[in-house]
């Protein structure tokens, strides 16, 4: 637990904005790259045009923070075991980007919003291993970059720290190449953080310095890959009625940016291995209409169409196995131990089972076995 807490704290200290700008073959963004960038993995970004650049320009934040899907960024760490990390883009929509941040200790979800000449981090949540659209969620309001893009632009954070633009074309070195970067400095009570953003790429380096010179933590871009979805293994549960047990099957999926997870879960719960004696959890016409997550209470509410009971055609024993399979699959994926099932917005009620307000199904994997074992 201490390691998880430390990993989350490191994530909060080191700003992890990342993305990459798509470039079609032969487009202007493929031209003018240095050999160093090409050799070390930055093969689809624009080289900043710094020839004769003045300290103040008409550049916009989106040039330094492109919001692009299916981008994988990998950062090397120094000074702390959690300084290394990688990111994937979960969602991009209307000036909002949700990023999955993975370090050796935890997975965080962060949501960034670009509007009114400001880039803000508006949501952050640790220990989030599942995919869920948090782009409309807000639990923080922290400005990362602010226009005008010129030295001296400064703003104050909620904790009293000062953040400012301290350089427009700072030369920096990273494992991914040498760059001219926008330097953002955050002056805190006991530390100083410098973030470096490169036009057409995003965040390429973060340096955290303790003011007492006790330690320095560095995260720097190692490689950027485009058209790379996030790979995730999901466990599905199915009734093995003839053997009076529930089995599970682990399946790997490639989750592209903006891919909704619910249709995928629905599809897999409707299918079982060919020639198996397993029971499908959902019949063909059943739809998962949505889900609501209560993080504080550890409850997920999943809404199905009424076809779930209308087409079930199961006795009391099999129905309970189906409901248990739903609870184990959905609760397991969303990291919740309590699952509420509703039908068209109303609490689940059939001839055998009736859920009352405040009641839920418990995730219970005891006695389940891997299919085929």
**pLDDT score at 1:** 46
- Quick one: tokens of 169? 């074309």
**pLDDT score at 57:** 57
CATH for 2-226, among 2.40.360, 1.10.3470, 1.10.10, 3.30.230? Answer: 2.40.360
List C-alpha distances in Å: 362 to 281, 282, 301.
Answer: 17, 19, 12
Per DSSP, the three-state class of 136 is: coil
Interhelix angle 316-333/261-269, nearest 10 degrees: 150
- Quick one: tokens of 190? 């006991």
**pLDDT score at 22:** 36
Over the chain (373 residues), what is each successive 10-residue block's mean pLDDT? Answer: 44 41 34 39 44 58 98 98 97 98 97 98 98 98 98 97 98 98 98 98 98 92 98 98 98 98 98 96 98 97 97 94 99 98 96 91 98 89
**pLDDT score at 116:** 96
**pLDDT score at 19:** 35
**pLDDT score at 11:** 52
**pLDDT score at 213:** 80
Classify residue 28 by its DSSP letter. Answer: G
The number of beta carbons lying within 10 Å of the beta carbon of residue 338 is 17
The domains of the chain are located at 2-226, 230-370
**pLDDT score at 42:** 57
**Residue 148, preceding peptide bond in cis (omega within 30° of 0):** yes
**pLDDT score at 351:** 84
Q: How far apart are the C-alpha atoms of 183 and 26, rounded to whole Å?
A: 30
């Amino acid at each position: 637990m201490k390691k998880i807490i430390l990993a989350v704290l490191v994530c909060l200290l080191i700003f992890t904005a990342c993305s990459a700008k798509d470039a079609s073959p032969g487009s202007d963004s493929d031209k003018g790259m240095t050999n160093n960038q090409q050799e070390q993995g930055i093969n689809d970004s624009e080289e900043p045009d710094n020839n004769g650049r003045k300290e103040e320009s008409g550049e916009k934040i989106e040039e330094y923070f492109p919001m692009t899907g299916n981008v994988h960024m990998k950062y090397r760490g120094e000074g702390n075991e959690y300084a290394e990390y990688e990111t994937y883009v979960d969602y991009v929509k209307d000036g909002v980007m949700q990023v999955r941040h993975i370090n050796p200790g935890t997975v965080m979800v962060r949501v960034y919003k670009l509007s009114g000449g400001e880039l803000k981090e508006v949501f952050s949540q640790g220990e989030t291993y599942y995919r869920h659209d948090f782009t409309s969620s807000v639990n923080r309001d922290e400005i990362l970059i602010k226009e005008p893009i010129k030295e001296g632009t400064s703003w104050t954070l909620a904790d009293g720290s000062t953040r400012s633009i301290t350089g427009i074309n700072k030369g920096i070195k990273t494992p991914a190449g040498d760059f001219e970067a926008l330097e953002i400095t955050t002056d805190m009570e006991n530390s100083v953080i410098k973030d470096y953003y490169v036009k057409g790429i995003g965040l390429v380096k973060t340096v955290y310095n303790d003011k007492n010179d006790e330690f320095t933590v560095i995260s720097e871009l190692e490689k950027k890959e485009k058209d790379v979805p996030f790979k995730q293994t999901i466990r599905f549960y199915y009734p093995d009625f003839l053997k009076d047990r529930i089995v599970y099957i682990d399946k790997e999926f490639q989750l592209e940016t903006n891919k909704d997870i619910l249709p995928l879960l629905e599809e897999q719960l409707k299918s079982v291995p060919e020639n198996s004696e397993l029971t499908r959890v959902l019949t063909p016409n059943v739809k998962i209409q949505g889900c609501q997550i209560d993080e504080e209470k550890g409850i997920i509410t999943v809404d199905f169409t009424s076809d779930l009971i209308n087409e079930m055609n199961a006795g009391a024993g099999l129905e309970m196995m189906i409901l248990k399979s739903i609870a184990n699959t959905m609760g397991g994926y969303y990291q919740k131990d309590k699952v509420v099932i509703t039908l068209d917005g109303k609490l689940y009620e059939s001839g055998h089972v009736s859920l009352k307000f405040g009641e839920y199904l418990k995730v219970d994997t005891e006695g389940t076995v891997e299919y085929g074992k």
